[in-house]
Chains A and B, each alone.
Chain A
């Protein structure tokens, strides 16, 4: 299995660990993630206004480039996934956005949303399979009580993200079971942590992160996992260390025995 891969800016800098362990784990599972030869920042927030074209172009370039290579496009950061998946849908369904973006880009073949966008977790669930993953685990995380933190961007709007049940998701809990851990379900796992306002309204981000951690801890979680560098930052730094928060790829690499030495 070979995919094009869009890491995004944060995964090359502050969120490096999400990428390093993610690539090492997929390699161990026999899945090839080929980083796109050229890519730019996705913009980190989906432009909801219909007349904002320029801010959609980096996503369109990545999508068209994966299409030219004849591969599906895999993302790992929740924000990149959200932006690229929704812009792809715009290119498929919104005639004005499609024609204006193509006028800007002047690609050899105009792009109309043909590329399939998959989140890393969807590759694990639907291509590798959690049952197969389970068989490849060499160091199961037995006895560890872990809360999955979904946040917003992977789940909503569910009609566009088509990722999981937005009110009662299960993909991360199934993942945790596959690597031998004990998932802890808590109410705030799909509520916003407030991370986007950390620069604008820090006291709120701190308060909201505290609520999420409080809720997870009261349900018995001893650590949390996430796929979003901003959630990780907000829960860990603004959350004041109430629970350890890790990238899900770190635990995956650990369970597959490839965490040490991954670069």
Chain B
């Protein structure tokens, strides 16, 4: 197992080898069209050590944290946890924050709930 695979499986607690490649997670994913790699591919690519491609993918920022994949996976693989772990492996690196406070004022509108800002900071930066 390469170093990144080891980090991602450890912090997510996910064992990608439990996956039976049924694709149900991807079928359930409402962000499917926004992702370059789909949830079942994520699981497969972590298992086969293709971490670099995942770390450079757009999909890690498109996941909605809706837990549909996790709920509907017949093998309890929990793909959402892997996606979060790959994103963390990126944003924890020096200079790799995906969202900067300076970007926020332009994104605000009068109705935007605090929840949207807090969760974006939690997801996209360290």
Contacts and interface: CB of A to CB of B under 8 A. Distances in A.
A and B interact: yes
Interface in A98-113: none
Given A13-B114, A192-B30, A198-B112, A44 B119 contact: yes
Contacts of A13: 113-114
Contacts of B117: 199
A166 interface: yes
Interface in A232-263: 232-233, 236-237
A33 interface: no
- Top 6 A-B pairs, shortest CB-CB distance: A192-B66, A156-B67, A44-B119, A44-B118, A45-B119, A229-B113
B118 to A, nearest CB: 4
Interface in B68-110: 68, 70-71, 80-81, 84-85, 88, 99, 107, 109
Interface of B: 10-13, 30-31, 34, 61-62, 64-68, 70-71, 80-81, 84-85, 88, 99, 107, 109, 111-120, 122-124
A198 B104 CA distance: 12
Interface string A45-70: 11111111001000000000000000
Of the listed residues A55, A158, A233, the one surrounded by the most CB atoms of chain B closer than 10 A to its CB is A233
19 contacts: A10-B115, A14-B113, A43-B122, A45-B119, A48-B12, A48-B85, A49-B11, A49-B84, A50-B13, A152-B64, A156-B67, A192-B31, A192-B66, A196-B65, A196-B116, A197-B31, A198-B116, A199-B99, A230-B115
Contacts of B107: 199
Contact of A197 (B13, B62, B85): B62
Given A45-B119, A152-B68, A201-B34, 10 more contacts: A14-B113, A44-B122, A48-B12, A48-B80, A49-B88, A51-B10, A51-B11, A152-B67, A157-B67, A196-B66
A195 interface: yes
Interface string A154-188: 01111000000010000000000000000000000
